[in-house]
Amino acid sequence: MTLWMKSKRPADIRRPLCLTGALIGLAMALGACKHSSDVVTTASVPGDYRLRHPIAVQEADQSIVVFVGRGRGGLTAPQRADVMYLGQTWMREGTGVISIDVPVNTPNARAAEDSLREIQATLAAAGVPPRAINVRQYRPEDPRHMAAIRLNYPKISAVAGPCGLWPEDIGPSINNKSYFDNKQYYNLGCANQRNLASMVDNPSDLVQPRAETPAFTPRRTIAFDKYRKGTTTATTYPESDKAKLSDTGK
């Protein structure tokens, strides 16, 4: 009797153990799947703000608007200066033609035609060739707005953003992992990148350095000659003291 009980007891215990092991394995598998998903979502957002909000170099439009009244054609002095500046900057950075959109079937359409002729003459004075100007006509969608002449051309520019994206709460929350891990919140650094992109004069400076200009040989020769003689290489200005208003501090 004792021998029979020993032989049956392991078989009776083995069944619930197998069931328990299967449930534990299933729970671990489900937990592992959820854990993997969280890691992928967190790792998809870079920790460096320069990678999270990169500055892209692409083609964008440079444009100005020339408002034209009903009874007077031509350009005012500030408008003429704006058109002249646009033509000069196009000579330096333009990557396409200058498009001029002129309103038609509007109360100021005739005055706009007179202004267009002066705009073309101003652009020609800035050095823009006639083949680089494309005149187009348009009809305003909203008649309540004053129809204006729009000038634009494409150029290479640096852009970043958009800013103001808040996918997570920046305060302490059970759902905010960045707060407890002491990581940068998503929008941090976006305004700095956007301002830098808008202020840079040449977008290619963000990608590669400019070529060095040749050295000024006469000045370099004088400096080397003074260095060999053991004298100072600094430039002296004999008349610099004449511009002083006071000797305070001497």
Task: Encode pLDDT of 51-103 as tens digits.
Answer: 999 999 999 999 999 999 988 888 999 999 999 999 999 999 999 999 999 99
Does residue 179 sit in the same domain as residue 118? Answer: no
Is 151 inside any structural domain? yes
Does residue 191 sit in the same domain as residue 171? Answer: yes
* pLDDT digits 0-9 by tens, 158-173: 999 899 888 877 777 7
Domain tally for the chain? 2
Is 228 inside any structural domain? no
pTM score, whole prediction: 0.60
What span, in angstroms and rounded, lies between the C-alpha atoms of 90 and 152?
Answer: 10
pLDDT at 35 over 50: no
Is 176 inside any structural domain? yes
Domain limit, last residue, from 90, 121, 156: 156
Does residue 46 sit in the same domain as residue 132? Answer: no
Is 28 inside any structural domain? no
- pLDDT value, residue 38: 42
Does residue 51 sit in the same domain as residue 78? Answer: no
The boundaries of the domain holding residue 139 are: 59-156
Q: How much of the chain exceeds pLDDT 90, in percent? A: 44
Q: What's the Cα-to-Cα distance from 117 to each of 16, 55, 127, 162, rounded to whole Å?
A: 95, 39, 16, 39
**Angle made by CA atoms 160, 164, 170, in degrees to the nearest 5:** 125
